[in-house]
Amino acid sequence: QKFIHAISPTPASTMSSADIHARPPNATLSPYAAPAKSVHVEDTPKRPAESTDLQYWRYDVKRQRQGQTDGSLLCFKYTSSGSCPRGSKCNFRHDEEAREHCQRNVCFDFLNKGKCERGPECRFAHSLTEEAAARDAKPRSERRRVESSCWFCLSSPDVESHLVISIGDGYYCALAKGPLVPDHVLVIPVEHFPTTIAMPVEPEAELRRYKDSLGKYFEKRGKAAVYFEWVSQQSRHANLQAVPVPLSKATNVKKIFHLAAQRLGFEFSVVNPDGDANQGRELLRSQYDGKSGLFYVELPDGTLLLHIIDSGEKFPAQFGREVLAGLLSMADRADWRNCKLSKEEEVKMVDDFKQGFREFDPAE
């Protein structure tokens, strides 16, 4: 999916005839081009059977290359269609029971390996019982409808793809729309999750790499990063905001957040008094029940301040941005809608950021 979303093809309707017919550099002859002269069938050299077996199906190709041909893995062709032209010569298992599960829309990877790397993104069932498979199907289909209209899902037609600056396996980075300051970045899960705290453990290492890279990029420009995330029951797709502040004001971030909290009638709790940001996120993950709303901010020194939002509490959606706007004396930029740029300006902003961030980008 990373590579699918990373490309940016130009629509043919906007291209000139010369550009459309221009031959790309390093192009090779098409293997499907008609031959210059007709060739009789009996004169056509036959490919050896071994070559056919090695190239027959995309699942088999991958596993053949990995040397996994001990017969313990399922044959995709047989499992999905009920027949395999290779018959007894097939290096993969023909299992009738797996075939029956596949007919009931059970995921092939789940049948073959006991797990599916696509997780919630997969549109097939991850259970061998009909009742559980039926339960899985409904929320998954509903989730896909939600994702199609989500601003942050890369597969959505509503995503502002021109703002994307880097795409990893579990996270991608984009410049904020209506940024508070230049280089205002959003770190966003590729999968549709309401908060980064609810993400699987595996992508957490990639999130740390992105934060380290952004920290180096900001430090080179005499700034420090402040991260914050607001989670509510209405949250759809998580976005961890990274706002750079001048190093001269970095020590005041903690004080101004505490003052803002007092004005709203609550107090922040300190998650990690020792300032270990990685440990702080682990503590957040262990404490989060997935039901309550919360707001947390990671200060430049790594300390995490947390506020659990009560069910009846009215918490400002722009709280983090408003506090930093006050710190930077930019009260007029507290609302992102007052800071909108034209698409041309956004594209220029992204190009400038990419140029400077390239040396730090962990996805490069």
Question: What is the Cα–Cα distance from 316 to 16, expressed in whole angstroms?
Answer: 49
> How many separate domains does the chain show?
2
Per-residue DSSP letters for 306-341?
Answer: EEEEPTT----TTHHHHHHHHHTT-GGGSSGGGG--
Rounded percentage of the chain residues whose pLDDT exceeds 90: 43
Do residue 326 and residue 288 come from a single domain? yes
| 248/107 same-domain check | no
Mean pLDDT to the nearest integer, 48-64: 40
Task: Note whether 165 and 114 are same-domain residues.
Answer: no
Question: What are φ and ψ of residue 48, in 5° steps?
Answer: -65, 150
pLDDT 10s digits, 166-214? 999 899 999 999 999 999 999 999 888 889 998 888 889 999 999 999 9
pTM of the model: 0.62
Residue-range definition of the domain harbouring residue 115: 76-144
Residue 295 and residue 304 in contact, taking contact as beta carbons nearer than 8 Å:
no
CA distance 195 to 188: 9
Q: What is the pLDDT of residue 300?
A: 96
**Are 283 and 196 in the same domain?**
yes
CB 63 within 8 A of CB 82: no
Contacts of 22 (CB under 8 A, 6+ apart): none
User: Contact 331/308 with Cβ under 8 angstroms?
Assistant: no
The domain that holds 201 is classified in CATH as 3.30.428.10
pLDDT tens profile 59-71: 444 444 444 455 6
Answer yes or no: is 98 within a domain.
yes
Cβ atoms of residues 66 and 45 within 8 Å: no
Residues 295, 167, single domain; the answer is yes
Residue that the structure tokens 């221009």 belong to: 22
Whether residue 229 lies inside any domain: the answer is: yes
